[in-house]
Amino acid sequence: MLQYFVSIGTLAAITALLTLGLNSRWGLGGQLDLGFYLFVALGAYVDGVLTLPAASTQPGVHYILGLNLPFVVGFLGAGIVTGLLSLAIGSVALRNLRGDYFAIVTVATTIIGYTVISQYTPLFNGYNGLYGASQPLEGVLHLGPQAYQTFYFGLCVVILAAVFVILELIRRSPFGRAVKSVREDEVAAAAFGRNPYRLRLKAYVLGGVVAGLGGSLFMHYISAFNPASWSPLETFLLYGALLVGGTANSFGAVAGAVIVLVAFPQLTQLIPAFGSNSNAGPAVQAIAIGLLIIVVLRFRPAGLLPELKTMSGQLRTRGSWNWRARRAAGSGES
């Protein structure tokens, strides 16, 4: 029984971490990134190819690298690579695109990534994906399986706490305030000397790094990762978490993650009618979140745990969402 909670708890901690990463892009930066899961997946893959032994040792399995390095290297390496990829993609996508067009590009980019990774087997073993990932620090600790699960849970919680503190410090800093001002009205932010492009890009990269770290933890939690774990639904669920928990602060992100992504599915599994159909569980969860999003947007767009009395800037009627706002401000009458 305890092991069940340990396992769920680990999943909750990792998911909360991912939600924090998405919150950096959406809550702080105001960017509707629908392709977030690309970076999570890439984090898992990069960690995998850094920590797994060389592919040549197993017949019929192909992937790059395979350096058999310790977990720490895999973990940090995942964050670095996803950070760099975020920089590359963000520097292009964030230059001119806003709102829904930016969102569409992120979906397209993620599906391109998904297709390439699935089809180009030499990269990450295609559809079969990576498996057999080691257990971090196992060689040092020599714990039994149950004790190790508890240890890994603790490790994830510690990492979550550290990232939480770092992101909160960033959010409450002058940098965080500047990013928020860009989110609220980028033309006004520029009118007071801030460079919207660079601030947006930094928030985007920050989110990417956290995604990569989360992906790495995910990889060692399940000890495998393949394209089947990777669907458009995943990002959608994270947004559900943010919407429920509120995007104004990191508490909301974590609370939302726990409620929507962990507690809710567990509860639905208790309903006997859905036990039989293997599709039913995730389908019902998705439908429920979709309805929840519609309801929350209708009645409480700020989420269930808003910080101040404020409302998250992105979903109101202010028109700083397309760059036509620039032109509208520009071609005045007088």
Q: Does the footprint of other proteins cover residue 25 (CB under 8 A)? A: no
| Residue 97 binds other proteins, judged by CB under 8 A | yes
Rule CB under 8 A: say whether 161 interacts with other proteins. no
Q: Pick the piece of the chain touching other proteins (CB under 8 A) from 8-16, 73-81, 173-181, 210-218.
A: 173-181
- Residue among 138 and 307 whose Cβ is closer to other proteins: 307
Q: Which of 72, 263, 267, 329 binds other proteins (CB under 8 A)?
A: 329
Tracing tokens 């992906």 back to the chain, one arrives at: 215
Identify residues 174-193 at the interface with other proteins (CB under 8 A).
174-178, 180-181, 184-185, 187-193
| CB closer to other proteins out of 15 and 314 | 314
Of 193-252, binders to other proteins (CB under 8 A) are 193-196, 199, 202, 206, 232-233, 236, 239, 248
Q: Residues 62 to 91: which contact other proteins by CB under 8 A?
A: none
Q: What is the DSSP string of 27-85?
A: IIT----TTTHHHHHHHHHHHHHHHSPPGGGSTT--BS------HHHHHHHHHHHHHHH
- For 116, half-sphere exposure in the C-beta direction (CA atoms, 13 angstrom radius) is 10
Q: With binding defined as CB under 8 A, does residue 34 bind other proteins?
A: yes
- 332 touching other proteins, by CB under 8 A: yes
Residue 61, token pair as written in the block: 């399995």
The C-alpha atoms of residue 19 and residue 328 are separated, in whole angstroms, by: 35
Return the residues of window 289-328 that contact other proteins according to CB under 8 A: 289-291, 293-294, 297-298, 301, 308-319, 321-324, 326
Torsion sign over Cα 67, 68, 69, 71:
positive
**Considering the rule CB under 8 A, would residue 112 count as an interface residue with other proteins?**
yes
